[in-house]
Amino acid sequence: MSKKQINYWLCQFGGWLLYAMAMLFFANVFRNNMSDLLWKRLFLFIFLGIFYTHLLRFFIHKFQLMPPLHGKKWFSFFVLILLICVANSLTISTLIQYLGWYRKEFNGTIATRFVFTLFDSSPIIFVWSSIYYIWHYVEDARKTEVDKIKLESLVKELELKTIKSHINPHFIFNALNSIRALVDENPERARTAITELSNILRSSMNTDKAETTSLEKELNIVQDYLALEHIRFEDRLKVEYDIDEDTLDLPIPPMMLQTLIENTIKHAISKQKEGGVVKIISKFADDYHEIIIQNTGKISDDFNTEGFGISSTKNRLALLFGNKASFELKDTQKNMVEAIIKLPINEHKENKTVSQETTKNIETRLKVLPNHS
């Protein structure tokens, strides 16, 4: 039994025990009545209270009525509470009648007892529901705050590691040497390469502190990075894109795609004599935004699947989207490695459209880079 379940049962039994003690106190002070009949009825009331409130909790989880509730779920929640109150009152009134646990001077029908018990026992179930929901609202708020702090810490770590990887001498020297070779041979391309290097360094140092960025912005940085790497690898690096234009404004964690592409270049393309292909796919798959990064090669036995690039991707997806997002790295039968990211699509996606200017700019960029491949 988990710690959370243990705490639930401690609160469940503790709360009902406290209620029983309060009833005994009032019975003793105001009625001076501690008869066997009182103990029997109180035991029955507490036992059924624990049973039906636990049943209420079961149905809350089964029908996904956990907070926060929106729209029709509030109606479903109140209907569920009402049904539990009716079932509890009907059970109590029937058992009291059947067992004869009532004072003879107040003998009545089951229907009469049911109505009286419904108004007598329902408030405590409503109080239990309120406490249960308030607890979960507070717990959810606390968890959200903790997740936010974790995410901020992870993003800060990613920023520092990304800056370090981009500003390390090896990367700078490779890029500058590539640009130097182009100065006389292709001055126009050299100027473009300087701009691309500047864009990458600027994006590394000024990483947006927002939790997400648009796929379009992320692709811009990736294209600058791949264009620079193409100068170094030449024909060994081939880049392909298959981007659904409607996905360009969808949110993704900043620098996530960039980090995975760097892993691909470092662990796959650079280690193969003949180089290979890097393909970036962005599309809709059912109710998900699916991003696929393909590269030539296979996952080696010594590849660290818990390295920073992979682990940071998994952690950020978990913190931002919970179990609604997924990440998978696998070999395919065509000597390719696939990194597959599935992100939940915003329910208001249909209300968003990509501007013609944005679409035109991306189309232009997608056409330019393959010409260098």
Instruction: List the structure tokens of 338.
Output: 């696939």
Contact 280, 242 (CB under 8 A): yes
Give the pairing type, strands 288-296 and 336-344.
antiparallel
The pLDDT, as a whole number, for residue 358 is 43
Tell me, yes or no, whether 184 lies in a domain: yes
Strand partners, 337: 295, 331
DSSP string, 273-341: TT-EEEEEEEEEETTEEEEEEEEES---TT--TTSHHHHHHHHHHHHHHGGG-EEEEEE-TTSEEEEEE
Q: Residue 270 carries which DSSP code?
A: G
**142 and 181 in one domain?**
no
User: Which residues constitute the domain of residue 22?
Assistant: 3-146
Tell me, yes or no, whether 105 lies in a domain: yes
Has residue 354 got a pLDDT over 50? Answer: no
DSSP string, 104-152: GGG---HHHHHHHHHHHHHHHHHHHHHHHHHHHHHHHHHHHHHHHHHHH
Instruction: List the structure tokens of 28.
Output: 């003793």
The pLDDT, as a whole number, for residue 350 is 39
**217 and 120 in one domain?**
no
Tell me, yes or no, whether 158 lies in a domain: no
**176 and 65 in one domain?**
no
The pLDDT, as a whole number, for residue 327 is 93
Confidence of residue 159 (pLDDT cuts 50, 70, 90): low
**255 and 181 in one domain?**
yes
**106 and 8 in one domain?**
yes
Write the single-letter amino acid at 51: F
Query: Closest Cα partner for 226 from 334, 337, 368?
Result: 368
Digit-coded pLDDT (tens) for 111-149: 888 888 888 888 999 999 999 888 888 888 888 888 888
Confidence of residue 288 (pLDDT cuts 50, 70, 90): very high
Write the single-letter amino acid at 118: L
Tell me, yes or no, whether 66 lies in a domain: yes
Contact 88, 56 (CB under 8 A): no
The backbone torsions φ and ψ at residue 322, rounded to the nearest 5 degrees and listed phi first, read 65, -140
**323 and 176 in one domain?**
yes
Has residue 283 got a pLDDT over 90? Answer: yes
The pLDDT, as a whole number, for residue 357 is 46
Number of folded domains that form the chain: 2
3-state secondary structure of 257: helix
3-state secondary structure of 248: coil
Residue 144 to residue 147: CA distance in whole angstroms: 5
Residue 316 to residue 350: CA distance in whole angstroms: 25
**319 and 174 in one domain?**
yes
Instruction: List the structure tokens of 220.
Output: 């811009």
Confidence of residue 10 (pLDDT cuts 50, 70, 90): very high
| Domain final residue, candidates 146, 178, 212 | 146
Q: Count the helix, strand and coil residues of the chain and give each as a percent rounded to the nearest 5.
A: 70, 10, 20
The pLDDT, as a whole number, for residue 199 is 81
The pLDDT, as a whole number, for residue 15 is 92
Digit-coded pLDDT (tens) for 175-215: 788 888 888 888 898 898 898 888 877 766 655 456 788 99
Instruction: List the structure tokens of 145.
Output: 């705050």
With 0-12 CB in 10 A as exposed, 13-18 as middle and 19+ as buried, what is 110? Answer: middle
Confidence of residue 365 (pLDDT cuts 50, 70, 90): very low
Residue 252 to residue 263: CA distance in whole angstroms: 18
Digit-coded pLDDT (tens) for 60-104: 989 888 877 777 888 898 999 999 999 999 999 999 888 888 776
Q: How far apart are the first and last CA of the chain?
A: 57
Confidence of residue 337 (pLDDT cuts 50, 70, 90): very high
Strand partners, 341: 291, 327
- By mean pLDDT, which of 36-40, 47-51, 87-91, 275-279 is the weakest? 36-40
214: CATH: 3.30.565.10
Tell me, yes or no, whether 361 lies in a domain: no
Tell me, yes or no, whether 83 lies in a domain: yes
3-state secondary structure of 344: strand
Contact 279, 293 (CB under 8 A): yes
The pLDDT, as a whole number, for residue 353 is 39
**191 and 48 in one domain?**
no
**265 and 135 in one domain?**
no
Give the burial string for 225-256 (b: 16+ CB within 10 Å, else e). Answer: bbbbbbbebeeebbbebebeebbbbbbbbbbb
Instruction: Report the mean per-residue pLDDT for the chain.
Output: 81
The pLDDT, as a whole number, for residue 152 is 76
| Domain final residue, candidates 113, 146, 179 | 146
